[in-house]
Structure 1
């Protein structure tokens, strides 16, 4: 049974709020906790905690949606709802899980909720993981982990040596595996591949990126450098990523 998602809707347009509330009423496990007309009102609700998801308009008076998200720490999952395409890159940088262009159809809305359900399940596992020293049993198990990853790519199964992987990049429901010898493309989801990769060698730093820890040449609080490329570290992954990167021998 899927968990109940507690959400708030933030939009200064009455019609837009009405459409989102109507769509939300069609989803059994989605609970609308509050409907806000501006960012200040939303901020007050978010400070109380226990909000999983925010449907957030961008262009609003005084404080816009992007500014609101930047002010939050920690952040819930955020879906931007807007009539403007030009903010999509900035939304991606702020680790929003989706970007809905108005008018928003019920079908597109339901796809977003499916994504939120999957992300919340995976994110829960991620945030409860603690980077503790391995027990003897755990160390012995890690030695037996396979050093190969089998990837479905272009109607074939590709056998990939884990030591060749630089990083994984997810874009538009496809994943590109960047290796020392080239790129491999697959429709297998990044969350599925994350489960197959040994956690002591690979780290999810963003909803769209997984890096091989031994290939990280430099990092700070917002990026990890792999093969000369600066990959973003998402806000929701930052605390755990910093702990792992600082502890991992380079």
Structure 2
């Protein structure tokens, strides 16, 4: 076996980190130097250690994965691991070697490691980055027909389909995620969850409420109606919320 590939895993979701770390442990060629929960922590490891490869989430609080890669010069090889397809072209522009859509299979992960090894041994693939990333994104679509949100609830990590979420309600020290058929309660803050939710699908209308734009059936200047329930629009959120809702209703 050749030289070990020193890698780090960067993702703020515990379940996603665990999956990637488990996959890496099964590949003898990989040496996981660090598992990071945010971009700042990863930046420190990259500056101090000789890292060959980074498995990097995109949507993270404060500094996202794209911003981290833009700050590195030179940078290790980077593979983006994300639930969002829309950043694929930007990833290409930043010279990422691959783009993995969650949920990531072990077989797909192994192909990426093989590709990284080709780059590190001076024999990179002959296809252009953009064609590779677009094809990889297309190939992974069957695995991610619905965008997902992972939350901590009742001492475990729960996977939620974003298309089923009606609205989120902050109540005391908890957040209740109201779905079409059930409600899930988490102790994670509503501000944190707001950063994880795609802004095109969800809008914050109040310090205590985030709603799915698609699930809004009626609205005026002070409230929105979701699933027959009226939710208040807070003064600090009114302008942005009404702009989005009015644009959608045209």
Q: TM-score, normalised to structure 1's length?
A: 0.50
> What residue is the counterpart of 2:77 in the other structure?
77
1:107/1:47 CA distance change after superposition, 3 Å:
same
Kindly indicate whether the alpha-carbon contact (under 8 Å) linking 2:8 and 2:55 is maintained by their aligned counterparts in 1: yes
Unaligned 5+ residue runs, structure 1?
Answer: 125-167, 174-250
Give the drift of 1:123. 6.7
> What residue is the counterpart of 2:6 in the other structure?
6
Unaligned 5+ residue runs, structure 2?
Answer: 134-250
Kindly indicate whether the alpha-carbon contact (under 8 Å) linking 1:2 and 1:117 is maintained by their aligned counterparts in 2: no
Give the drift of 1:169. 6.2
Give the drift of 1:3. 1.6
Kindly indicate whether the alpha-carbon contact (under 8 Å) linking 2:98 and 2:132 is maintained by their aligned counterparts in 1: no
* Cα distance between partner residues in 2 of 1:82 and 1:75: 19
* Cα distance between partner residues in 1 of 2:123 and 2:74: 13
* Cα distance between partner residues in 2 of 1:123 and 1:9: 24
1:102 aligns with 2:91: no
Q: TM-score, normalised to structure 2's length?
A: 0.50
* Cα distance between partner residues in 1 of 2:123 and 2:13: 31
Give 3-state SS (helix, strand or coil) of 1:87's partner: helix
Kindly indicate whether the alpha-carbon contact (under 8 Å) linking 1:6 and 1:30 is maintained by their aligned counterparts in 2: yes
> What residue is the counterpart of 1:122 in the other structure?
122
* Cα distance between partner residues in 1 of 2:29 and 2:120: 13
CA RMSD of aligned residues (A): 1.8
Count of equivalent residues: 130
- Deviations 1:156-208 (CA, angstroms, capped at 9, x unpaired): xxxxxxxxxxxx863349xxxxxxxxxxxxxxxxxxxxxxxxxxxxxxxxxxx
Give 3-state SS (helix, strand or coil) of 1:122's partner: coil
> What residue is the counterpart of 1:53 in the other structure?
53
Give 3-state SS (helix, strand or coil) of 1:68's partner: helix
